[in-house]
């Protein structure tokens, strides 16, 4: 390591002479002492990888001078220590690797060069659905059905784990990727090849940021970018601004970590942190457990930041011990962090670094709240829920409106369920799910939910039988401590049986509602409600029949399930009336913080974590029994509807093609603000009247066998047809919600895929127009791959969410952005024009390009290739093409 910025410090442990670490030659350098802790991790990564790939001495100097250069679009490479994937994004990644091996072989290279260099863990957590609930065997029946549906996908993943080195599979039934990462996979400090260095990670799931709560710098990237990282390519990034988020005070006794994160989400959306790091500091941080911090970091994508970092402190070190990590390794982790100036004392303000901007939150001002009905940032205090929902009913169609006529606000539909009569109305709860890594990783809210369930049952309260209740913990540890603490039986009595270990309702795998409930909702055109302890509630995501969806803490999920409606003021109205006629209010059964903490101290112990995780890779017998091929090149089955060789590399040559001007493009879709990746590439059910359904039917499948879009991401024919197939899509060309558009040459209204096919057959390029926050939400690469396959050459938007812009770049789709002060309205664009986008011969990062319309109008837009490396990818037709050429040559 011949680098003037580095020296190798002698061993921390004299018994292990190989254990050394890198550090700046002058730790007392004032520049280092003022760096945000998150930037210090970037610096350590640059030092470790200096003179490799793109990491040069100048990059180290730039990071040290962060305070000076942070606003100047300085490009730095980041090479993380690890990559994590989940199966919805992992399957297409392995498909791409298999296809890349074929392509390298065709170009005369060694196909086995396509192999992960950076260690990768793939956790299978996205496939299981809530098909069965409210029965003691729900878990087993859902897991059996999961294997029945996904056997081919699982066999393919098992092949991948054998064909590629450095790729470990965590089998289904183990838990949710981010919780498994927090409790088991994360190291905090890496101990490898004779050196210590900070742990860091990128993942193919936007909520990878959850690990920031433990002091491991991590964030979500698109699957395309993650594949390149796995093959050894650093992430090219602009050195970020860092917003310091100062926490003060103590939370009130009734407030949960969920309430805190929903408050922060709304606040930071207002501040504006897209493309920035957020780093938490201040004495209030010391009041939060690691689980609390992880909950806050988990929802980083919802407030738009790249990372939400909590530096390591003594509470972090204590968490490593609590979760069963090796005590001696933890001791040396602490010694290393102390030695390199990266162990934080949040009560010591002299350690506070310089930030780009500082914002504050007094934790004492946080009140119990939910978020909804359609976006995570739309926080509503629980005391205002009834009034807010009733306002939304009549408000204009939008993020806070359903446009229900005033004379229908009190509509009621009677129905019969299992021999008893019930009523549904606007605001009736039909799904109540304790789900998601956001909250099930936190013992305080899970035990709080269990204690509330116990008190509710003892008070004589129950949940109506038609409400779809479920409990899907993020790891087996949760079930362990719920059972040992004696609250599991009470959760079951209220219908919250364990239905699986995976993401489930949070990602739309909520399964079917009872048919009488669906018929009642449809008959009355009711705004039915889902309440979930998840992190996203975008339209059409949770369930097609729940138009309103609210994020809430696990105890509140149970409370709203018992109430049966969100049109309730818990302070003034009872949850219910027991058999004795006594009114029971929420305050009567809400557990105190002291009660919860006492149970947590007694039952959440290191032995639980050790017992669960020591057998995590071998405990699933169905996985162990899978027979996977052992060939290094994958034998594609032309009859498969799950796994198909993608067309991305067809006709690829070693020679580069010069990018050409996009001439006379039609607009495929014209969007407003906050179009999410769920809108672009839905993960949930495949509608029976959709292009994807017609394709699967033509291949001999019945609707029961369709599975979900997420499970079909290994097949481009399904995914192209599923692009823009969200039933809640709002396209300005159409006067109603739905996955359709206008084919302008004919004037016909068609399904989006069918219109795109018409354009493609006629040789017409396409673009998409959009407003602010285009591509918000999940880090799914198919939200870029799908439009690419439809023939979309560019997107013109007011702003982009970070991961989606990166994914567009990765697929060679041009992300264009209106200049400041301009948008479709100010420019008079209708989307019915034809667009010529002039691509100059010489390109540079963030340059303006000219756009000419067939009306004669001309304007400029910003081309959002932010770094020289991104331009290199564009010249190659995408990042994977670049990697293939690199490996083949």
Instruction: Please list the residues that pair with 9 across neighbouring strands.
Output: 21
Distance from C-alpha of 142 to C-alpha of 470, rounded to nearest angstrom = 12
Token pair belonging to 177: 């990727």
pLDDT attached to residue 56: 56
Number of other residues whose CB lies within 10 A of the CB of residue 823: 16
User: What's the DSSP call for residue 819?
Assistant: P
| Token pair recorded at residue 823 | 């948008």
At CB < 8 A and 24+ separation, what contacts does 343-351 make? 343/311, 343/312, 343/313, 343/314, 344/37, 344/281, 344/311, 344/312, 344/313, 345/313, 345/314, 346/281, 346/282, 346/283, 346/284, 346/285, 346/286, 346/313, 347/283, 347/286
Question: Where, residue-wise, is CATH 3.30.499.10 in the chain?
Answer: 80-238, 411-611
Q: Which CATH number fits domain 411-611: 3.40.228.10, 3.20.20.70, 3.30.499.10, 3.40.50.1860?
A: 3.30.499.10
- Mapped onto helix, strand or coil, the DSSP state of residue 747 is coil
Q: Cα torsion for 754, 756, 758, 764, to the nearest 10°?
A: 180
Question: Following CA atoms 131, 132, 138, 142 in sequence, which dihedral angle do they give, to the nearest 10 degrees?
Answer: -20
Q: Kind and range of the H or E element at 328?
A: helix 327-339
Q: What angle do CA 529, 531, 535 make, to 5 degrees?
A: 125
Q: Give the pLDDT confidence score for residue 39 in this predicted structure.
A: 93
pLDDT reported for residue 160? 95
Contact yes or no for 764/666 (Cβ under 8 A) = yes
| pLDDT for 2 | 41
Q: Which residue has the tokens 């790939």?
A: 53
Backbone angles phi, psi at 560, to 5 degrees: -70, -30
Yes or no: domain 80-238 corresponds to CATH 3.30.499.10: yes
Return left, alpha or beta for 215; rule: phi > 0 is left, psi -120 to 50 is alpha, else beta: left
CA distances in angstroms from 146 to 120, 121, 142, 499, 710, listed in the order given:
24, 21, 6, 12, 13
Rg (CA), the chain: 26
| Rounded distance between C-alpha atoms, residue 153 and residue 156, angstroms | 5
Residues of the chain with CATH 3.20.19.10: 662-888
Distance CA 329, CA 335 (A): 10
Q: What is the mean pLDDT of each run of 10 residues along the chain (889 residues)?
A: 43 49 54 89 75 53 81 84 93 94 93 92 95 96 95 95 93 95 95 83 94 97 89 87 97 94 96 95 97 96 95 97 94 88 94 96 97 95 97 94 96 97 98 94 96 98 98 95 97 98 92 97 97 91 94 98 98 93 96 91 93 91 91 94 94 89 98 93 90 97 91 95 94 94 98 98 98 87 96 97 90 97 97 97 95 98 93 93 89
pLDDT, residue 57, reads: 56
Strand order of the β-sheet with 379-381 is 379-381, 369-371, 548-551, 529-532, 429-434, 468-471
Q: Which CATH class is domain 662-888?
A: alpha beta
CA-closest candidate to residue 459, choices 596, 591, 592, 588 = 588
**Distance between CA 620 and CA 144 in Å, rounded?**
11
CA angle 743, 688, 146 (to 5 degrees): 130
């Amino acid at each position: 390591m011949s680098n003037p910025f580095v020296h190798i410090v002698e061993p921390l442990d004299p018994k292990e002479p190989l254990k050394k670490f890198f550090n700046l030659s002058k730790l007392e350098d004032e520049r280092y002492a003022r760096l945000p802790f998150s930037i210090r991790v970037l610096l350590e990564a640059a030092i470790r990888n200096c003179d490799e790939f793109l990491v040069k001495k100048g990059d180290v100097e730039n990071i040290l001078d962060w305070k000076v250069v942070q606003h100047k679009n300085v490009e730095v490479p980041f090479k993380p220590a690890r990559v994590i994937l989940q199966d919805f994004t992992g399957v297409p990644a392995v498909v791409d690797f298999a296809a890349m091996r074929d392509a390298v072989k065709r170009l005369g290279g060694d196909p086995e060069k396509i192999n992960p260099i950076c260690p990768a863990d793939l956790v299978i957590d996205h496939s299981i659905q809530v098909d069965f609930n409210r029965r003691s065997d729900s878990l087993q029946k859902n897991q059996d059905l999961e294997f029945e549906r996904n056997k081919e996908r699982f066999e393919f993943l098992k092949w991948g784990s054998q064909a590629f080195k450095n790729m470990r599979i965590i089998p289904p039934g183990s838990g949710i990727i981010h919780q498994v990462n927090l409790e088991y996979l994360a190291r905090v400090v890496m101990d490898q090849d004779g050196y210590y260095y900070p742990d860091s990670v990128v993942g193919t799931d936007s909520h990878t940021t959850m690990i920031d709560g433990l002091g491991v710098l991590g964030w979500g990237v698109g699957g395309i970018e993650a594949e390149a990282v796995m093959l050894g390519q650093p992430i090219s990034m602009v050195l970020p601004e860092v917003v310091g988020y100062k926490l003060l005070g103590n939370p009130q006794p009734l407030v949960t970590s969920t309430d805190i994160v929903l408050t922060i989400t709304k606040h930071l959306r207002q501040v504006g942190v897209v493309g920035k790091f957020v780093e938490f500091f201040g004495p209030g941080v010391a009041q939060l457990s690691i689980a609390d911090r992880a909950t806050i970091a988990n929802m980083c994508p919802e407030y738009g930041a790249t990372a939400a970092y909590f530096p390591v402190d003594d509470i972090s070190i204590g968490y490593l011990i609590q979760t069963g990590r090796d005590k001696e390794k933890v001791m040396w982790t602490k010694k290393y962090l102390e030695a390199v100036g990266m162990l934080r004392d949040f009560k010591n303000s002299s350690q506070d670094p310089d930030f780009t901007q500082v914002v504050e939150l007094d934790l004492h001002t946080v009140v119990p709240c939910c978020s909804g009905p359609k976006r995570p940032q739309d926080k509503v205090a629980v005391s205002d829920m009834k009034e807010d929902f009733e306002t939304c009913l009549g408000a204009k169609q939008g993020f806070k409106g359903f446009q229900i006529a005033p004379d229908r606000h009190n509509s009621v539909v009677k129905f019969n369920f299992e021999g008893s009569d019930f009523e549904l109305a606007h605001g009736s709860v039909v799904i109540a799910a304790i789900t998601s890594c956001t909250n099930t990783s936190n013992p305080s809210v899970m035990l709080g939910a269990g204690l509330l369930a116990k008190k509710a049952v003892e008070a004589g309260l129950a949940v109506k039988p038609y409400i779809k209740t479920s409990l899907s913990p993020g790891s087996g540890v949760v079930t362990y401590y719920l059972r040992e603490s004696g609250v599991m039986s009470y959760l079951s009595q209220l219908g919250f049986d364990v239905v699986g270990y995976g993401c489930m309702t949070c990602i739309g795998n909520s399964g079917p509602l009872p048919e009488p409930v669906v018929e009642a909702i449809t008959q009355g055109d009711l705004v039915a409600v889902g309440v979930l302890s998840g992190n996203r509630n975008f339209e059409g995501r949770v369930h097609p029949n729940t138009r309103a969806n609210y994020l809430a803490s696990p105890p509140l999920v149970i409370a709203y399930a018992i109430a049966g409606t969100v049109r309730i003021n818990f302070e003034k109205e009872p949850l219910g009336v027991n058999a004795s006629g006594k009114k029971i209010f929420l305050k009567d059964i809400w557990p105190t913080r002291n009660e919860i903490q006492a149970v947590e101290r007694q039952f959440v112990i290191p032995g639980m974590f050790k017992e669960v995780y020591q057998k995590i890779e071998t405990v699933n017998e169905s996985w162990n029994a899978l027979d996977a091929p052992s060939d290094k090149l994958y034998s594609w089955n032309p009859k498969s509807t799950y796994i198909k060789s993608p067309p991305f590399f067809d006709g690829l040559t070693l020679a580069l093609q010069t990018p050409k001007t996009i001439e006379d493009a039609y607009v495929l879709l014209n969007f407003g603000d906050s179009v999410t990746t769920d809108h672009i590439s839905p993960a949930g059910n495949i509608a029976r009247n959709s292009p994807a359904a017609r394709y699967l039917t033509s291949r001999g499948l019945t609707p029961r066998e369709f599975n979900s879009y997420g499970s079909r991401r290994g097949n481009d024919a399904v995914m192209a047809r599923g692009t823009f197939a969200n039933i809640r899509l709002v396209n300005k060309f159409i006067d109603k919600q739905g996955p359709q558009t206008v084919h302008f040459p004919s004037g016909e209204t068609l399904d989006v895929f069918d219109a795109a096919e018409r354009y493609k057959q006629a040789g017409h390029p396409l673009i998409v127009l959009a407003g602010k926050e285009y591509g918000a939400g999940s880090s799914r690469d198919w939200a870029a791959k799908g439009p690419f396959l439809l023939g979309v050459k560019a997107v013109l938007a007011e702003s982009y969410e970070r991961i989606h812009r990166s994914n567009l770049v990765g697929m060679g789709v041009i992300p264009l952005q209106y200049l400041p002060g301009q948008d479709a309205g100010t420019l008079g664009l209708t989307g019915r024009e034809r667009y010529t986008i002039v691509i100059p011969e010489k390109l540079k990062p963030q340059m303006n390009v000219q756009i000419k319309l067939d009306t004669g109008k001309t304007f400029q837009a910003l081309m959002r290739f932010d770094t020289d490396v991104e331009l290199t990818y564009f010249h190659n037709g995408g990042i994977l093409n670049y990697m293939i050429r690199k490996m083949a040559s």
